[in-house]
Amino acid sequence: MDPSIPMHDEEEAQRLPPKRLVNKVAVITGGARGIGAATAKLFADHGARVVIADILDDLGATLADSIGGRYIHCDVAKEADIESAIELALKWKGRLDIMFNNAGVPGPSGSITSLDMENVKHLLSVNVLGVIHGIKYAAAAMIKGRIGGSILCTSSSAAIMGGLGGHAYTLSKEAINGLVRSAACELGVHGIRVNCISPHGVPSEMLVSAYREHLGKMDMTAEDVSKIVGERGSLLRGRCATVEDVAEAALFVASEDAGFITAHNLVLDGGYTSACSTMSFIYQNGH
């Protein structure tokens, strides 16, 4: 027992769950807000050193300072920006253990017969090429470091079930799922795990904006979206996923608790894409 630590503090520390990412170094793209920000905070709480890579400089820098991390301006569509983010982690701590390819954009909506192809190309440059850039440079650093690692990518329930997103967005998320499986096949021999997380209906800034545009209600709030998704988009009636739910999933997949999981798509949808949600009404009140 350490005599410098009061007995009650030591007993309290023993009761707390262990930190799962002590001495790990992580890069999170799109880490300035939403899912990325929640994950950055949780990773830091569990002992990780976090590099936040984003284009939202004020938000990203403020968050990085608050968690003892680092911030770098990073447009994931630009290969050199991703390379610089990885280099920052290596210069800062000499290693890279976790890469979370989380940055993404919603892209154009509407009929496939009238899609603006320039907007589609921009979406693919962020949502697909950005993930390729992240896996490419993270894997190279992890292989060189010979310590293995965990690469995560944010996909979506839209990659599993049609009609949950715009055509280009759906395409991009389905591409991520395939890329994760392919990269996992190559990188497993180096001890590098590659997985993706597919949230459904998380009321992030991106989803709230999409609902406002789709419904023509520009005053909709995150709480409004949560209520809609909770009532219609989950088998757990009234329950909507939060950014913290996704962060907890990312923590699990990134940690050694998931050390034998790779090439996997972890779906966070309250069962929505796996069952006929109308069945729940049949059995209500014991009927």
67: Cα separation from own chain's centroid:
18
Q: 265-268 and 192-199: which strand pairing?
A: parallel
Opening angle at CA 176, ends 140 and 249, nearest 5: 85
DSSP state of 68: T
Rounded to an integer, what distance in angstroms lies between the CA atom of residue 117 and that of residue 132?
A: 21
Q: How does DSSP assign 104-135, residue by residue? A: ------S-GGG--HHHHHHHHHHHTHHHHHHH
Query: To which residue do tokens 């820098």 refer?
Result: 61
DSSP state of 254: H
Q: How does DSSP assign 236-257, residue by residue? A: STT----HHHHHHHHHHHHSGG
Q: Which residues contact 286 (CB under 8 A, 6 or more apart)?
A: none
Rounded to an integer, what distance in angstroms lies between the CA atom of residue 188 and that of residue 241?
A: 31
Rounded to an integer, what distance in angstroms lies between the CA atom of residue 103 and that of residue 93?
A: 23
Q: Where are the alpha helices (DSSP H) in 94-216?
A: 117-127, 129-145, 167-187, 205-215
Query: To which residue do tokens 């701590």 refer?
Result: 93
Beta bridge partners of 198: 267
Residues in the chain: 287
Q: Could you give the residue numbers annotated as active site?
A: 169
